Amino acid sequence: MLSLGQLSQMVKEHLGLYTSDDGILHFSKWVIAESSVAGRGLFATEDILPGEVLFVDHPLISGPRAASIEIEPHGCTVCCKIDAENTFKCPKCGLLLCSEQCQSDNVHFNDCNVISRWVFKIPVEDFDYRTVPRALTAIRALLLNDDQKQLLSALQAHVLPQHGTEIRDLQEYFEIPESEVEFMRLACCVLDANAYQIATAYGKKEMSRRGLYPVSALMNHNCVPNTKYSYNSEAQMTVKASKHIQAGTEIFTCYSGFLWGTPSRQAQLYKTKHFLCKCDRCADPTERGTMLAALKCFSTECPGNLLPIQPLNTTSAWQCLECGLRVPRKNIGAVQSAVGSLLGSVNFGSVDSLEKFLTTRITKYIPKTNQVVVDLQCCLIWEFGEAEGLRWHELSEGRLALKESLCRGTLRTAAALGAGDAHLRGRLLYHLHAALAERARRCPDQYEELKPEIESTIEQAYSILQGDISAPPDLDLRHLGFKINTVSKSARTADGSSQNIIGMMNIPVTCDDNTHTVSFMVYFDHNSVTLTLGGHRQRTPSRPIDHRLNKLHQRSAQDRTVPRALTAIRALLLNDDQNNYFPPFKPMCYLNTEQKSGTCKNTLKYQKGRLALKESLCRGTLRTAAALGAGDAHLRGRLLYHLHAALAERARRCPDQHNVKNLMFIPYAQNDFDGYTAKIKQVIDPWGFNVTGLHSYPDPEQAVYSAKAIFIGGGNTFLLLKRLYENNLVNLIKTRVDEGNLLYIGSSAGTNVATKSIHTTNDMPIIFPPTFEAISIVPFNINPHYIDKVESETHKGETRDQRIEEYIEMPHAAPVLGLREGSILHVNGNQLAIKGIAGAVLFKKGDKKTELAVGEDVSFLCRYEQDENST
């Protein structure tokens, strides 16, 4: 066994030959160390930001996945193309090939050279064509040099009898030296423990491959990983942080299906990796409120869900969250088997059959949150808009709406699980973007309303999927911003002919560090395509568009921005298989640029973070000036001007941010939903807002997702939090608020659930939610209706201070902000301020109670969680 130092040195040498796309080695931010999870692991040595490259790994060996050979038996062992009609056995080694070109390839030459030197026990023509390809990846391990073999041997290996069977099968055909047999068996055991399935190019039908990536193999498993990985055309694996990773934290990947429920993940991990996961997600019966494993209660009159009482115990009984019914594990297994049999009746090759099964049958037997339903939803998401006969323009309105709804629902589930910028989220965002863009194409009058989400979804999808071989081929082009302004509107060209406007493409490009926005209006009629570019107009027959664009390219050669933009237009208008014309555009954050004296004047320079920073700096400096008694000094005037400009820019970007007309009220803290909502409407409607109760919507998740502002009223905090979890709203609300897409107002119990936990509520626990952990919009606790001790009062029980101090002593305690009647905590991003008429008090472990006056800035409380994690 190699020491950690020796292994680290070998890993450095392995990675030293490869860099990421930015040309920088990414070894300095992590180390190999002992892990409390399992043996060795990777640990961050400094904070790592989401999207940051950790390393670029390459496979020691790669080849067909042994298990896939049974399903895809006619794949070429060189190019991996599946071609049952043209594949043939190599007469020297028995490997399957699809062409003479692959037979003469260096890859096959090396494979054949190893195999052909063994003594054949039977003629090649009598070989089972699956046997040799199943063992091919292990056979290729014999081609490694001594250092590579040592690195392979240092990795974890499964030694149970079921591993390495492909080598035993191979020995039926060949007499192989024992040393080679033993090393190939070791390679099989190491592959089964560590190999990754290599992604294929988007839309290509190829034989499934696996690769042994030695650095990636050192990452341990967690069901909520903090990394993601992608592949390029050379099978290199780029591993990036999918979320913020703090220094000292272990770096995890996920060995199982991310959207599987805990029982399924545990079964798969135990069968293939021989361990049971004990992560926080696995220990939570609700799996962060997603209910992926939930089954319907066996009591026909109960609408509740069954979940395991002790999810880390595979024999645990299950219990209904609503009526408390307990069900033995063996009965749960019978239901799960019945669901599996029901799935066996589905024709997955028919989208019609799949859609009917999802929408009319399966949810009769299991909840809509169950992993089976979620998996079926994903199947339909990938098919709608992509499959033959179901292209975007061919989708019915109902299917387009269904796809959009399924994308949103699955994105909410992924967000609740803490997916971060995982590959799955990128794919879902891409498909949601495409659905919204298609809706805008069909309904041009909805474009302005849909535009912000169309742009934000493709921006996020591009950030996650860029450079990934499995990314959709039009990802780059969509990201450049093909904006559909009008569809099928008649337009007259200069010669008087009638044409239809397809849309407009605005492309920001960079030349010599200057930024230009190049706009094209694209027209079409039955025989031609017309492009309007600045002052240029070129009418072209639709087929030879590439040739005509080249002519326009030459005519516009003096404008260096034009050729790159034309290349993008060409990629749009040509067939999909010619999208390799697409250039490597540099993504830009600047808008509304103009050329002046050879330089770019940028009327919008600030990214979202910089705009917020400017606003924050203005406010902070204004407070300092006010404290110094600046009055109406010139400095104050300048600061007010810049604060005004920042606020105006924010309003320009988010025109609806301060124009909320509809307020969604969540009455879950009380039982009379209609009566409670009516009281709120009576007060708030006269202010010019339209109040609606969440209980009046058939789908609470969709209603909250579409809302711009919500108000959660007071009542019993325990009842409120339970209902929020039951409707999958806790993580959804937090995500929407964190993204800046939802305004949150809470009073009393509604304030309690907005904090880290409900431990400091004043209410009685009349019912139990799944957990006391709440929405966590702020990382501390609040005690609403805080009452100061009155010395003369006759009450002899505990004071409010004493109860809060009892909580503060607990190891899991967060700071507690006591809000007096008439006080408000105003939260704006990372800015917190006490407003109202009565002020507040702050309790922190080890500190005395602190008085906070009205108007006081308490933004330091937002840093509590970060400060705690860094100590």
- Give SS3 for 388: coil
Q: Confirm if 808 and 751 have CB atoms less than 8 A apart.
A: no
Q: What is the DSSP string of 824-858?
A: EEEEETTEEEEEESS-EEEE-TTS--EEE-TT-B-
Alpha helices in 753-799 (DSSP H): none
Active site residue 785: yes
**Which residues on adjacent β-strands are paired with residue 860?**
none
The radius of gyration computed from the CA coordinates of the chain, to the nearest angstrom, equals: 31
Which listed residue (83, 105, 169, 763) is catalytic? 763
Quick one: which of 336, 277, 271, 338 has its CA closest to 311? Answer: 277
CA distance 258 to 192: 20
Q: What is the DSSP string of 418-480?
A: T--S-HHHHHHHHHHHHHHHHHHHH-GGGHHHHHHHHHHHHHHHHHHHTT-TTS-TTHHHHHH
CA distance 438 to 432: 10
- Give SS3 for 114: helix
- Give SS3 for 179: helix
Distance of CA 350 to the CA centre of its chain: 28
Which listed residue (785, 801, 857, 859) is catalytic? 785
Q: How far is CA 813 from CA 336, 510, 629, 780, in A?
A: 40, 51, 40, 9
Q: How far is CA 866 from CA 734, 758, 810, 858, 869, in A?
A: 18, 20, 19, 15, 5
Active site residue 847: no
Quick one: which of 556, 481, 576, 472 has its CA closest to 519? Answer: 481
Which listed residue (748, 757, 776, 823) is catalytic? 748
- Give SS3 for 267: helix
Active site residue 795: no
Count of C-beta atoms within a 10 Å radius of residue 274 = 13
> Which is it for the CA torsion 783, 788, 789, 794, positive or negative?
negative
**Which residues on adjacent β-strands are paired with residue 97?**
88
Residue whose token pair is 């320009």: 652
Structure tokens at 696: 């009046």
Task: Return the exposure string of 399-429: e unless at least 16 CB atoms fall within 10 Å of the residue's CB, then b.
Answer: bbebbbbbbbbbbbbbbbbbbbbbbbbbbbb
**Which residues on adjacent β-strands are paired with residue 524?**
500, 529
Q: Which residues contact 129 (CB under 8 A, 6 or more apart)?
A: 73, 74, 89, 94, 96
Determine the residue type at 327.
Answer: V
* Residue 324 backbone zone (phi > 0: left; psi -120 to 50: alpha; other: beta): left
CA distance 130 to 269: 26
Which residues are identified as catalytic?
748, 763, 785
